[in-house]
Structure 1
Amino acid sequence: MSDVIFNWVPDRGSPLPLYRQLADYISGKIACGDWAVGDRLPAQRVLAQRLGLNRSTVVQAMEELASFGVLEADYGGGTRVGSNTWSLRMAGGGMDWGRYLHAGPFPANTPTIQTIFRLEFQPGYYRLGSGEPSPQLFPREAIGEALSRAAARAPALGYLPPAGLPELREAVAHRLERRGIRLPPSCVLITSGAIQALQLISASMLKSGSTVFAESPTYLKSLQIFPSAGARLQGLAMDREGLRPGALRAALTPCAARSGLLYTIPTFQNPTGTTMPQSRREELFQLCLERRLPVIEDDAYGELWLDAPPPAPIKALDRTGGILYLGTVSKTLSPGLRLGWLVGPESVVQRLADVKSQTDCGTSSLSQWAFLELLESGAYDAHLAALRAALRARRDAAAALLTRRFASLADYFLPSGGFYIWLRPRPEAATERLFQRALERGLLLHPGTLYGFGRTSALRLSYAYESPERFSRGLGLLADLLEGN
């Protein structure tokens, strides 16, 4: 069951009444299988506002369809698709995809996530929580030159080896030596972003019923990927120094240690921005080593330090192959390149490369050649230096505004790197209501409930996407909202 998407515009020049146009649109979407039985429609008030119609017009269309059993009231309010029999008959028949859409193991996104993903691509909203770098920070000239050199250098853009372009695997392995990770290129797997690495691990290395331990809150996507493989997620308490090893120790039963693993983001954590100090990294690593608990270390933000370089990755402590280390260019260059890497034992790399070859036949050849050019030319390091300076200025501007407007409205944590500010309104606000009220003001927020294992009033703010001017205006609107103005 999911929320439907309206891509309909009323034709005010048509002789057909507007309520009839709306009813025909809805029945047509159901008839062709775009909307399935159980899918939810927006509230009538919201729908009328979105379509520019009188609410009575929407009510008339809904009541007519409800009289045929096509729509019915949803428990707790709203309307959902109740049947497709009438609409299918009116349309001359069609396939009932509703029986198939939710039969697979991968869960649907929550309505809030679906709304965010839809509205991010519509103009007019202040994207205060988006987890990607601003288009203003994209190194167009460097990318253009790298693509040009890659086109001249690549023999063709055909399939590459399943584990990735050999020259790029070597370059990544060489680069990781700076972070204290010393492994041969055979231990590097090039992936279509770090998220694909999580998918490969879930699909081929997790038993159904396994326990995946993770910080609470944690990265949005990991909350869906692991359960799709039949794994059970267990959140672990954090503080301002990241995951607390004592929380993991208390949760580790013998069974969980044998079949589970730990997923952690120790550096500039998403969504809280916290960074684990070296002493805690050593304690956590020693605990996992003693309990033989595999670790996935997600280091998507590790090179985006703003004040001083962070401690070395936990993987730098690993001499027994117990940690799978993930990296990506989605946060440093662009998520559209779909390029990342996994570092681990050769046996794991070979297994995941085999699974990868069966699912996508390889990561983009063009992206791999272009990134290799950026690394070898030094353009990537030059870009990182400029990106850090830009993000530092954005964070500091956000900090000044938070001090000025939010001192009495919220508690917040300012990171020393990465993208995110973790903000908790004071007093606590109902997240769902705040999200909807913010939408009415053109604010697209990321509620903390998207990242955790329970209810929270926190918000994830990102100073990385919007321009400093738009981010400042958006924060001002958020302050007005929290003040009740």
Structure 2
Amino acid sequence: YSPVAGARELRQAVADLYNARYRKGMASQYSYENVAISSGGRSGLARVAASLGPVHLGHYLPDYTAYEELFDAFKGFVPMPILLEESDGFRVTADQLRHEIVSRGLGAVLLSNPHNPTGQVLYGPELERYVGIGRQYRCALIFDEFYSHYLYDEVAQAHTSVSAARYVEDVNTDTVIIVDGLTKNWRYPGLRISWTLGPKEIIQRIASAGSFLDGGAAHPIQKAVIPMLDPAFADGQALSIQSAFSVKRDHMTRAIDAMGLGLPHRPKAGFYCFVSLKNLRPGLEDGIEFFEAALGHKVITVPGKFFDVNPGQRRRHLPSRLSQFARLSYGPNMHELERGMSRLKELLKT
């Protein structure tokens, strides 16, 4: 068996990668003790959830659909939704974080950054302010950074990859927890390797949770993936992704504009477009109806209401704000993407 926290060599390789990318010249550096290895992203997030105490946990609407299952599975904290507004492109801001922490007594906040499904991203001075507010109010910030290589336009010009680790002052006192892995940024989902970075004390709790949740990642795979964490190799992966996916992003956004779909925010990261269906004819303006109609043309879309994370269905008496949205992915190769967008164009013509 491998240690539940992961093989020491891999843990140190992860720490070295983050130090090289984000912490050059800083006194506080990550070590293997700041890293836990898990068998995939959901496993890593489950460990974090199991390690939280009885706090109010802020989460954004919209956000990653699997968070709802995570919140339902663990009852030690109270999920508190934070609304992102269409009029602002579903943007996360530091000022909003401050307001939510103070007004609702949040002890922790979970967010995907880059953001799934909207393609928004916190970076640069705004991310620095966001981390600083968490530090000021002693609110734990949990960053799901699984799309941190998928950056475009001015974001890619500023950074090869994005991470809250850049703005942590002390790796053992700032309660910034980062979850990432090989699934998206390295495009190796079958290897089932993820990691969590954070203060040593929190990593110890996360490793303890892993002992009864999943038992740890496979030892031979941990050994095999260590070369992938070499900073030069990792940065090469990021640049290759940005080169290929920016072209596909541009193709999809042009097609969306030509079809008359709404796009509240041109994605600056990730590989999704979160489109508005409000201007479509009856029968297509609802995300579920649009999904069923697109399926008839052999295209898969994801209804927007699935990102209206609603643990315990506590807001079941309210109609979803996101029912007239859909997520489209430009993850497939260009040939498949062109076929898919052409078929959606045919659907909207009928």
Distance 2:244 2:263 in 1: 25
- SS of the residue corresponding to residue 273 of structure 2 reads strand
Distance 1:426 1:434 in 2: 11
Between 1:313-322 and 1:454-463, the stretch displaced more is 313-322
1:334 to 1:425, Cα distance in 2 relative to 1, 3 A: same
Letter in 2 for 1:249: R
- How far apart are 1:226 and its partner, in Å? 1.8
Residue 472 of structure 1 corresponds to 338
Give percent identity, aligned residues only.
Answer: 25
Residue 312 of structure 2 corresponds to none
- The C-alpha deviation readout for 1:191-228, integer Å capped at 9, x for no partner, is 11222121112223243xx4221222111111220232
Gaps of 5+ in 1: 1-158
Paired residues of 2:123 and 2:162 also in contact (CA < 8 A): no
Distance 1:338 1:468 in 2: 26
Residue 199 of structure 1 corresponds to 46
1:288 to 1:379, Cα distance in 2 relative to 1, 3 A: closer
Residue 180 of structure 1 corresponds to 22
Within a 5 Å distance, the mapping from 1:118-129 to structure 2 comes to none
Please point out which of 139, 142, 155 is paired with 1:296: 142
Paired residues of 1:241 and 1:276 also in contact (CA < 8 A): no
- SS of the residue corresponding to residue 105 of structure 2 reads helix
- The C-alpha deviation readout for 1:67-105, integer Å capped at 9, x for no partner, is xxxxxxxxxxxxxxxxxxxxxxxxxxxxxxxxxxxxxxx
Paired residues of 2:51 and 2:209 also in contact (CA < 8 A): yes
- SS of the residue corresponding to residue 460 of structure 1 reads strand
Please point out which of 63, 67, 70 is paired with 1:225: 70
Q: Confirm whether residue 324 of structure 1 aligns to residue 324 of structure 2.
A: no
Higher relative contact order (CA 8 A, sep 6+): 2
Query: Aligned residue pairs: how many?
Result: 318
- How far apart are 1:269 and its partner, in Å? 1.2
Please point out which of 138, 157, 164 is paired with 1:314: 164
Residue 281 of structure 1 corresponds to 127
Letter in 1 for 2:295: L
Distance 1:383 1:430 in 2: 37
Q: Confirm whether residue 437 of structure 1 aligns to residue 286 of structure 2.
A: no
Give the greater-gyration-radius structure (CA).
1
- How far apart are 1:316 and its partner, in Å? 2.4
- SS of the residue corresponding to residue 297 of structure 1 reads strand
- The C-alpha deviation readout for 1:386-432, integer Å capped at 9, x for no partner, is 333222222232233334x22x3333533233211121124161222
Paired residues of 2:261 and 2:275 also in contact (CA < 8 A): no
Distance 1:269 1:164 in 2: 27
Distance 1:431 1:345 in 2: 41
Distance 2:99 2:12 in 1: 40
Distance 2:197 2:255 in 1: 40
Q: Confirm whether residue 388 of structure 1 aligns to residue 242 of structure 2.
A: yes
Letter in 2 for 1:215: Y
1:280 to 1:321, Cα distance in 2 relative to 1, 3 A: same
Residue 16 of structure 1 corresponds to none
When the two structures are superposed, what TM-score results if normalisation uses the length of structure 1? 0.60
- The C-alpha deviation readout for 1:257-290, integer Å capped at 9, x for no partner, is 3xx3101223x31110012242322332232222
- The C-alpha deviation readout for 1:22-70, integer Å capped at 9, x for no partner, is xxxxxxxxxxxxxxxxxxxxxxxxxxxxxxxxxxxxxxxxxxxxxxxxx
Gaps of 5+ in 2: 24-28, 310-319
Q: Confirm whether residue 460 of structure 1 aligns to residue 310 of structure 2.
A: no
